[in-house]
Structure formats: C-alpha cells, structure tokens
Amino acid sequence: MNNIYTPDIMKVEEIKQETSDIKTFKLIFDDKSKNKEFTFKAGQFCQLGVFGEGEATFCIASSPTRKGYIECSIKEVGKVTRAFHELQVGDTVGFRGPYGNWFPIDTMKKKNIIFVGGGIGLAPLRSLIWNCLDLRKDFKDILILYGARSISDLVYKDELKEWEERKDIQFVKTVDPGGEDKDWDGEIGFVPTILREIKPSPKNAIVVTCGPPIMIKFSVQALDAMGFTPERIVTTLEMRMKCGIGKCGRCNIGNLYVCKDGPVFSYDQLFTLPDEY
C-alpha cells in the first residue's frame, strides 16, 4: 500500500523575489514521467515541505495549462516558510498533492469573469487567470481588479504589466491610500472602494475573489449591493492544515473540511456555515 504521507521529490528550478517577503518558486518533479503526467486544476493546493523543517500548505499559483512545472508563491511568516526563503536554485523540496477542490472553471465558460484580488491573495487567482487567458475564447469579458497595501507589496509585477497591455481584458490595479509614489499610474484606494467605482454588471457574471479577510468582507458587501447573488461569488479559504486529506482534524468549518470539501467555496455555501474561520 502506498504511503500517502510520502512526498514526491521536486527541485527548485527558479526563484523570483516578488516583494520583500514573498518569493515565487518554480518547481520540477525529479521523476521525469511524473513531471510529464502531472495535472491539477486551478484552485487546488499542495503540501510542500523542506526536509528537516516541515511541510506547509500553498496553493498552486501556476496555471494547469502550463505543463511541466508548478509555481508557488510563498510569504515568509514562520518556520517552514523561512526555510523556503533560504532555498537556492537546485535545492530539493517535497510535494504532496494536488489536494482539495477547484474553481468551477467549467461553469465559468461563456460568462463574464471578474477577479478581485488583494496582496498575496492573487496567487490562487493567478492560476485561474492564466488558465482563462490561455483559453481566452471560452470566456466573455474578463476584468481583473488587483490591489495591495503599497506598490512594493504588489506581486507578479511583470505579469501585471502584461495584463495591463492586453486589449482583450480589463485590468485595474490599486494601492491603499498612502501606498502610492509620484510615478504610480494605477488607482489609489482600497479594493472594495475601487470595485464600487468600476461597478461591474452582475449580468452573466461570476466573481472570483481572494485576499485579506477584511478586503473580502467589504468586497462581498459591495457586490451584494450591485446585485451579485451569493452563488456567483467564489472564494478560496485558508485554514491551518497539516494532512491536506481530511484526516488530521484541524481545518473544519462546521462539518466541512477545507482541505477536502474546499478550499474553494461559493458564498451561498459559506452563508450556511458557522462563523468559525
């Protein structure tokens, strides 16, 4: 019988410094055939570990349409994430996954898609954004609204530029008041405020959002006021996780386990859950 806790070995292929405390790691399976066959869906996560330091939970931030590697963006906050930040290209990490459910990409087809992201919350959205952009004709209008506390807190800066230049999507970037500098050409204001100003139409639209809880809370209120029904607002949740497969018992909200029944939830689901997340 297979040991479900044994990770696959991956090598760090590339490291990119996104902000002062966020790095993106491009990872490749040691096992060539695994590298070829590996598939996942946008929204799924993995348990990544540095041997000797432990495992932590990260969403797969690259798109399933880009094969042969995965990327995870990791913010340094504690023991394991610190160990990741000390890694060099060529170092070894352990991977378990992909785990959890995924964004409802099939029901999003032929619809207008609105992405609302904040800070490192763009990581899981990025997987879906590139997934949609790589299959651009399957979707109607695409709006990406992304904000961070300050310019230096924006992640994926090169990609933001790319999205800005694309004619087939609408891209809006913003920083919190005071987070701008004199060269800043984006919006200034909190994400929910800018969202209210853009006022996207709820008609045939699905919203996918991820970011700090406070941003999500006020964005959902704004969307509600604009007429977006809860089942058309989708988010991905974070809970402390260890096993990632519904056994270790810590990531539940009510009787749902975020690692197995989530991490992707729509708001009509979330409204039925106890307020314990």
Partner 1 sequence: MTEKVISREKIQDLLKKLGESYNVFAPVQDEGKVLFMSLENSSRDVVLEFKNALKPPKEVFFPQTDILFTFMKTTDGVRSEDAQRKKSKPNLIFAIRPCDVQALQLFDKVFSGDYQDSLYLERREDSIIISMVCSEPQETCFCTSVGGSPVTAEADIILTDLGDQIFASGLTESGEKILEDRNFKTATREFMDKKKEAHSRAEGSMKEVFNMNKISEIIGKSFEKPFWNDISRRCINCYTCTFLCPTCHCFDITDVKRKGGGERIKTWDSCMSPLFTLHASGHNPRGEEYSRWRQRLFHKFKYLPDNLGLLGCVGCGRCLDTCPTGMDIREILNIVISEDKTKE
Ligand X SMILES: Cc1cc2nc3c(=O)[nH]c(=O)nc-3n(C[C@H](O)[C@H](O)[C@H](O)COP(=O)(O)OP(=O)(O)OC[C@H]3O[C@@H](n4cnc5c(N)ncnc54)[C@H](O)[C@@H]3O)c2cc1C
What residues make contact with ligand X under the rule CB under 6 A?
45, 56-59, 61, 72-75, 77-81, 120, 123, 238-239, 241, 263
Q: Which residues bind partner 1 (CB under 8 A)?
A: 1-7, 9, 11, 30, 49, 51-55, 77-78, 81, 90-92, 94, 213, 238-240, 242-243, 245-255, 274, 276-277
Q: Are 192 and 223 in contact (CB under 8 A)?
A: no
Could you give the string, one character per residue 194-233, with x where binding to ligand FES holds by CB under 6 A and - elsewhere?
A: ----------------------------------------
Q: Which residue is nearest to ligand X (CB)?
A: 78
Report the residue number, 42 or 74, with the smaller CB distance to ligand X: 74
Stretch that binds ligand FES, among 9-17, 24-32, 158-166, 246-254 (CB under 6 A): 246-254
Q: How far is the CB of 201 from partner 1 (least distance, A)?
A: 34
Q: Which of 53, 246, 269, 277 binds ligand FES (CB under 6 A)?
A: 246
Report the residue number, 158 or 249, with the smaller CB distance to partner 1: 249
Q: Decide which of ligand FES, ligand X, partner 1, none touches 6; Cβ closer than 5 to 8 Å per partner kind.
A: partner 1
Q: Are 133 and 226 in contact (CB under 8 A)?
A: no
Report the residue number, 135 or 248, with the smaller CB distance to ligand FES: 248
Does 46 participate in binding ligand FES (rule CB under 6 A)?
Answer: no
Q: Which residues bind ligand FES (CB under 6 A)?
A: 241-244, 246-251, 257, 259
